[in-house]
Amino acid sequence: MQVFAIRHGETAWSLSGQHTGATDIPLTDNGRRLAERMRPVLAKTAFELVLCSPMRRARETCELAGLGERAVVDPDLMEWSYGEYEGLTPDQIHKVTPDWLLFRDGCPGGEIPEQVGARVDRVIRRLRAAAGDVALFAHGHVLRVLAARWIGLPSSGGEHFLLDTGTLCVLGYYRNVPAVRIWNGPLIDPSAAVAHSLPESTRAITHDRYDAVLFDLDGVITDTASMHALCWKRMFDEYLRERATRSGEAFRPFDLSSDYRLYVDGKPRFDGVRDFLESRGIRLPEGRPDDPPQVETVGGLGNRKNGLVNAVIEEKGVKVYEGSVKLIRQLREQGFKIAVVTSSQNCITVLKAAKLDKSFDALVDGNTVRAQHLAGKPAPDTFLTAAQLLGTEPNRAVVIEDAISGVQAGCNGSFGLVIGVARKGNAEELRQNGARLVVSDLGELVDSTQPPTPRRPDAPS
């Protein structure tokens, strides 16, 4: 017995990030397309029972997926009641209650986690009484609680299960123990759950369509994105605190979740300094690229941040993502040309620390940007330069990125395929900005069924 849990397709409020509980809004055109894509996938399974939330967005998804006539409405599948937070985004809520967490605190005037869990437990009893497979159509937060309760976690455990719109999840058993077979999955044949594989993603990069693969560095190959983010925060907070002390203004710190993502992530260092400061209404002299760190210029602050990064690398080294190393190894063995494309001027230092400095055919980094006066991401210039170095046309190259500005650059350059790496639970955001395929780890692109081939001497181990 398996449970096929489907989150409804995209809505206007899911795009804007507003909490949507009892507000009964329809799917967007894209949401309808996502729902229709489920029809051939779900048609392969004979469901004993089909359950659906009473909300329009869930019912539309169920109907477009081909199971509307069989659906039984279950009020217990309603989305979390957000009370006073209905229609608000997390940023709006955190301005009033900075440490608020839905899965811990619930919502004033709405439900607490235990109340949602009680509803979900009733659904689970109904599911486990079924003799065959069950399909259910519901909402993001209630399905996250359902996953937690299915495997015996408290309702608060739902915070660990990130879930995008229009995705398929499969719950089942492993040797009679409740288990999660697929979570936040792409629309594939559900029988893949038994094989624990994602065959469509492992066939994404093939020689009949592509000749080269262009990798971003931080957050894609190496786990240095968080290091960069913390160094940005330390540098900006120190500067903003100094500035507030001088001017008497209130100190407002750099926000790792919003400021980093919107103004800094994926951009050349000096562009990141300039764009963030402009978001706060601060305009500094450009200065020179070699300005000392203590100088109050765009160049000086950028170099202050660079010094922090180098100190961390020297002290702690660099961690690589094993799935990324496996993919790089496989691509080299298959004869693909590969390059690193990054805005970081620390690229060579990072690759040497990670023992990957001999693994690429070309490198375009922040030093290249500076020397050739290239526009930074989201402009496609850096990726186009890498493709040129590899002797490859853009439509024959794959771009792999984790940053919004990066997938935008790949899209803007008309590359053959843009793959987003959603390590921050931002799959939907990456898709909206140009990623045609999104994975949570590059290991999902590795074909584990392929027989090993002799490794090139310079392939990473």
The yes-or-no answer on residue 216 being catalytic is: yes
Candidate list 74, 76, 133, 216, residue with the active-site label: 216
Q: How far apart are CA 222 and CA 2, in angstroms?
A: 37
Dihedral sign, CA of 339, 341, 345, 349?
Answer: negative
Q: How far apart are CA 57 and CA 227, in angstroms?
A: 40
Q: How far apart are CA 262 and CA 72, in angstroms?
A: 42
- Within 10 angstroms of residue 136's Cβ, the number of other Cβ atoms is 28
* 6 backbone dihedrals φ, ψ, rounded to 5°: -120, 125
Candidate list 74, 164, 218, 259, residue with the active-site label: 218
Q: How far apart are CA 109 and CA 89, in angstroms?
A: 16
299, two tokens? 């160049």
* 158 backbone dihedrals φ, ψ, rounded to 5°: -60, -20
Helix (H, G, I), strand (E, B) or coil at 272: helix
75, two tokens? 């009020």
CB 161 within 8 A of CB 144: yes
Buried b (16+ CB within 10 A) or exposed e, 332-371: beeebbbbbbbbbbbbebbbebbebbebbebbbbbebbee
Secondary structure element (H or E) that encloses residue 369, with its range: helix 366-372
Q: How far apart are CA 15 and CA 26, in angstroms?
A: 13
Q: Residue 266: which of 446, 109, 461, 410 has the closest Cα?
A: 410
The yes-or-no answer on residue 218 being catalytic is: yes
Dihedral sign, CA of 274, 277, 431, 325?
Answer: positive
Annotated active-site positions, please?
A: 216, 218
